[in-house]
Each structure stands twice: as C-alpha cells, then as structure tokens.
Amino acid sequence: MKTRGGLKITVWAFASLAFGACSTPSTEICPGHVEFSSPQAIGFNHNEKLLVCGDDSRESWKNIPPAQSEFHLRTFLNQRAYFRPKFEYRDSELFVDPGALQRTREIIYQGAPEHFDDYRLRDVVGVPLTSDILNTIEGWTLARLKNMGFACPDVKIRAVKETGIVTVNITPGPRYSITEPTMKDTLGLYDKTMRRFDAFALGAPYRAEWMKLSSIRAENDGIVVSSQLLHTCPQVGPESNIQPLNIQQQIIGGEKRLVTVGLGASTEEIPISQLSWKSVRMDQNGSNLLVSLYASQREQKLKTTYAYYLFKNAPRFDLSPSIELDRSNERTYHSSEIQASLPFSYHGDTEDHSWLASFGPAASRVYSDKDVTFFSLIGRLNLTSHDYELYQADPRSGYSLDLNAEVLSPGLQIAPIATLLGFTGSHLFQVNWVDPPQWILGFRYALATTVTDQIPGSATILPAQYFLTLGGDQNLRGFGRNEITNRSVGGLTSAALGTELRFAKTLPVGIEPFIFFDLGSLGEKSFDLESTIYYSPGFGIRWSTPFGAIRSTLAHGYLSKNREQNEDLEHLQFFVSFGKEF
C-alpha cells in the first residue's frame, strides 16, 4: 500500500511541475513586447507563448508583428472566458487589458421531457464560460436523455457571452424499447451465448448505462476482451411509424488463457494478493475453468471452478463443480478446510436489477479444534440493482441483498446437526440528486443464526468457525476483527447495522470524508440476541486513486452494558485498506 501511495504522490508531483512549467500566470509574458496592464495573472502554455512572443532560436520566428500577437491573444483569452479584451500599442509594445472574466449565470433547458429535471448537473453555474464547460453540459444532457429511453436525441447549445446565460435546446425524439442485439461475428459461440451478460430485459426502455454494464460483464468474465453495444437511429418522419431500435454487438475475442494478478492491503489482513488463471470459450456455450488463489496473513484460499453452461438456448443456467482449500487464522480459531461442491445456478435480469439463485450439495473436511467431515446442502439468493453493480468501484446508489442457507450433517448421518442462515444487504442513496453525486448515504445490515442444539464450548462437535462473532471493518468498525465473541468461541445469533454519510466528488485530489455509526448484538442461542448492544461512532476518509480506493477509519467501540469481562473492548480502533469499499 505504501508503495502504491508513494507512486501516486510521485505522479501528482510530476503533473504539478509539468503544469507549472507549461502554464505560468504572469502579467508580462513577452518582456518588451506584450504586457498585461491589469494585475490579473493569466497562464499561457509553451506553445501559446511561441505564437504570441516568437522564438529567439529560430530566425523566422524572432519578431512577431504586434497585430499577429493581438490576434492570437484574443483567441486565447476568449478560450478562457475573457470576451472583452482591450489592446493598446505603446512604442511598439502591446498592452493588454483582458477585461472581466465571464462566468455562467444560468442554465436553461428547453424541450426537456418529463422527469429530466429529477437530476441536476452541478458545478456548471458560476464557473468560467469556456468551450469545455459547454461541452460538459452538452455531453451530460445527451447521456441523461439516453438513460431515459431517448436513444436518438438532438441537443443544441447556445451561450450568450454578454449575460452568461446558456440555453440547451432539446429534441428528445421517440422513446425506444430494447430489442435483442444482433451480432456479425460470434467467435464460434452459439448465437445466444453472449446474451447471458445482458443487463436489461427485452421491451424495457432503452438505457445507455445498462448497455455499458452488459459490456463490462462480458469483459470482466474474460470471454471477450472488448464488447460494445451500439445502435443505429431509424429515420423518423412526421407521418412515419416508429421503427424498432437496431442494436448491434461488436466483440473482440482475445486470448483463451487469462492470467490476472491483484494486490491490496489492510490493517486487518496486512498484504493481500490474488492470482487467477482462467480458460475461456471452452465450448460453444462459453464454459470456463477458473483457478484462483487468495492470500493474506489471516486467510489463504485456493479454489478451482469449472462453470459448465448446459443449454444452447438458455445460456444463464450453469453447473459449477468446484474444489476449495481454505486455511484461516482468526482470533477465535485456526483451521484448514477442503470442500467440494456442485451448485446449479441461474442468473437473471429484469429492467432494473439482476438476481441469482444457486443450490447444490457439498462435502467438506475440517481440521480445527474439532476434525470432522460434513455433508451439506447449500443455497443462495442474491438481488442486486444495476446501478449498484455498475458503480461498485465508485459506490453511489443502488442495493444488493444476499440470502444464504446451509444444512450440515456430520459424516453419513441423515439428520442435520446445524442449519446456518444468513441475510446481508447494502443500500446506497443520493441525498441531493445531483451529478456528479455529492452526499451519499449508505446502510448495511447483517442477520445470521445457526440453528442447532450444540452449545458454544469444548463439548460441541461443531468447529469454532461455525459460530458467529462481530467486530472489524465488515460490521463494527470500533472493534477489532472478530473481537466480540461473548467470552467464548462465538455465538449462535448475530445482528449488525451500519450507516455512513460520505461527502463525494467535491474536495481536491479525490478526497472524500465520511462519518458513520455502527451497532450490533450477539446471542448465545439460536434466534436470540443478548441485551448488550455494541456500537461504534467514527469518521473516515476515502481517497480515490487510479489503482483503487484507499479507505481509512477511526472509531471508538462502546457497550450499552459494560461487563467486567468486556471492559477492554471499549477502545479506539484504526483501520486502513486499499481496494475495499463500503
């Protein structure tokens, strides 16, 4: 993490020095030739100075006529929103008064469809009226319309430089529905194979963001290295019927063997490394084989999964046999486990969210304080909104819900010894509906219970990792990782709720401060929580870098009922991570 942080600082320092060398504010840019008569300091880059001042190293560029300098200066000043400069010649020297800096005063949208104003583009009023800001307004308007179903809008923008009023004339055109994309080159795959990555439902209103998400899914899977969902706009006349939108998918296959390396860090797991090898497009259904390794001080995990897609015309069904070796070194236990599983899964999409259903048998051998073999049935349901998935690297909105269940039987016994149930979720809301988002409110919650007649302690045959603990970045940030154990190996029921308010995309260099409040409780019985409430207020900083997000938090852990055995739990807890999000 320190190496990456140092590299980032070095890059910024270089960029700052380069900027200073290329565009230095000054009132005298060409001594004896061009001088600004006002105290305003305006920066010009090296190439602009050559056009205004000339170049002493080249004979043909040594002497620039004042009229030519004035022409270029007027252009450069207009680009910087100085629209009323004054020029005066004194003894062959050009004196320049740039005049007042014109700023945008108001943005008026004309012809906007209903609900267009639900979101507002911020940081475009009160800023210099430059071509860049006009391009920003036009680009945002087009993107907003394309995410409302208007796939072929027309936008014209006009600015009055004397008043600073910008008028955006909108012709949204017809609202289109999504049709099934067509492909010219399928890379030898079945026609329907790429449709399993579609983040939309046929017949739903067109939304450009969901086209982008569909391409990201395919690229992240590795089945292709590039995917684009493009559309052509049909001709629309005054009396013609609206033709369907023609969507084409263009893909580039790339290599069939992929190697991925990832690095991260946190104060809980110290260095984190991930390595994966993947073989893609193993058949016409796009089946793949993945071998992945995760390693940190706390956990090492090696997993091999073969995702076999069963049906030609139903590409979202898969059977994914896997073998996983897991070694854990936690506060309450040390264990090694090998597990083989055979889940059958289906992944579906609607207009706004995706869902996953998975169910199958598993067998595992655990080496811990108790060495035991388990046979189990494992089920999972997940519901995730498309915006949550699309912006998972820059969280801003949406939700993700996860329900897990596992029924455990020791050895070859038919009667289960325990049933593990867990429900987790995250919700993100934009407090003020602006773009880019500014105030982001987040909630995360978790409920879990182990239904069993086993009691935490030495007499149980359940290994310690099947009991529940609290504490750490995943739930209660004012406590250490798995620090709350109820004075034993853990409990049978746990609940946690956290809320966070983040100030985003406003401060310099990607710094985003936030405050949070976490609370939770642990119980020694199934479906039962003790009266002691653990809570932790705190604050933190998120720093967005090109390599990933760095998050740091400082919180204090408290107990609603302080017990003698738990007095040492009330303390400050510092956490920093590279690559993790809320």
User: Which candidate, 393, 402, 334, 396, places its Cα nearest to that of 366?
Assistant: 334
**Chain centroid, CA 453 distance in Å:** 42
Residue 562: predicted pLDDT: 59
Distance from C-alpha of 45 to C-alpha of 531, rounded to nearest angstrom: 67
Residue 62: predicted pLDDT: 78
* Consecutive 10-residue averages of pLDDT for the chain (582 residues): 30 30 56 78 86 83 85 93 91 87 96 95 96 96 97 96 96 94 92 96 95 97 96 75 89 94 91 95 97 96 97 96 96 91 97 97 91 95 98 95 96 88 97 96 97 80 89 95 86 97 95 97 93 96 90 95 67 90 74
Decide: 277 and 259 in contact? Cβ < 8 Å.
yes
Distance from C-alpha of 371 to C-alpha of 377, rounded to nearest angstrom: 20
* Domain 330-578 -> CATH class: mainly beta
Strand partners, 275: 261, 293
- Check residue 205 and report its DSSP letter: B
Distance from C-alpha of 416 to C-alpha of 410, rounded to nearest angstrom: 7
| Annotated domain spans of the chain | 2-97, 106-171, 182-235+243-252, 255-326, 330-578
Decide: 368 and 334 in contact? Cβ < 8 Å.
yes
> Within 13 Å, how many C-alpha atoms sit on residue 493's CB side?
13
Distance from C-alpha of 172 to C-alpha of 115, rounded to nearest angstrom: 13
Distance from C-alpha of 464 to C-alpha of 335, rounded to nearest angstrom: 9
To the question of pTM greater than 0.75 for the whole model, the response is yes
Decide: 395 and 582 in contact? Cβ < 8 Å.
yes
Question: C-alpha dihedral over 294, 297, 299, 304, to 10 degrees?
Answer: 20
Between strands 34-36 and 93-97, the pairing is: parallel
Residue 24: predicted pLDDT: 44
Q: In the chain, what's the furthest Cα-to-Cα distance? A: 104
Decide: 28 and 94 in contact? Cβ < 8 Å.
no
Annotate 462-528 with DSSP letters as a single string: S-GGGSB-B-STTS-TTS-TT-B-TTTT-BSEEEEEEEEEEE-S-SGGGEEEEEEEEEEEEESBTTB
Between strands 353-367 and 372-385, the pairing is: antiparallel
Give CATH for domain 182-235+243-252. 3.10.20.310
Cβ atoms < 10 Å from Cβ of 87 = 17
Per the document, the length of the chain is 582
Decide: 251 and 181 in contact? Cβ < 8 Å.
no
Cβ atoms < 10 Å from Cβ of 523 = 19
CB-count burial class (<10 Å; 0-12, 13-18, 19+) for 251: buried
User: What residue has token string 């998400």?
Assistant: 213
- Check residue 177 and report its DSSP letter: B
Find all residues with CB under 8 Å of 238, minimum gap 6, and list them.
Answer: none
Distance from C-alpha of 76 to C-alpha of 431, rounded to nearest angstrom: 40
Q: What is the CA radius of gyration of the chain?
A: 30
Q: Which CATH number fits domain 106-171: 3.10.20, 3.40.50, 1.10.3470, 3.30.70?
A: 3.10.20
Distance from C-alpha of 542 to C-alpha of 549, rounded to nearest angstrom: 7
Tokens of 559: 């107990």
- Is 340 in a helix, a strand, or coil? strand
Distance from C-alpha of 73 to C-alpha of 55, rounded to nearest angstrom: 16
Between strands 317-319 and 344-349, the pairing is: antiparallel
- Expressed in angstroms, the distance from the first to the final Cα of the chain is 19
CA distances from 226 to 23, 201, 236, 420 (A): 37, 22, 31, 40
Distance from C-alpha of 126 to C-alpha of 122, rounded to nearest angstrom: 10
Distance from C-alpha of 364 to C-alpha of 420, rounded to nearest angstrom: 15
Residue 108: predicted pLDDT: 97
E strand or H helix that includes residue 120: strand 120-121
Domains 106-171 and 330-578 share a fold: no
CA distances from 510 to 314, 384, 507, 550 (A): 43, 27, 6, 10
- Interhelix angle 66-79/46-53, nearest 10 degrees: 150
Burial code of 254-267, b = ≥16 C-beta within 10 A, e = fewer? beeebeeeebbbbb
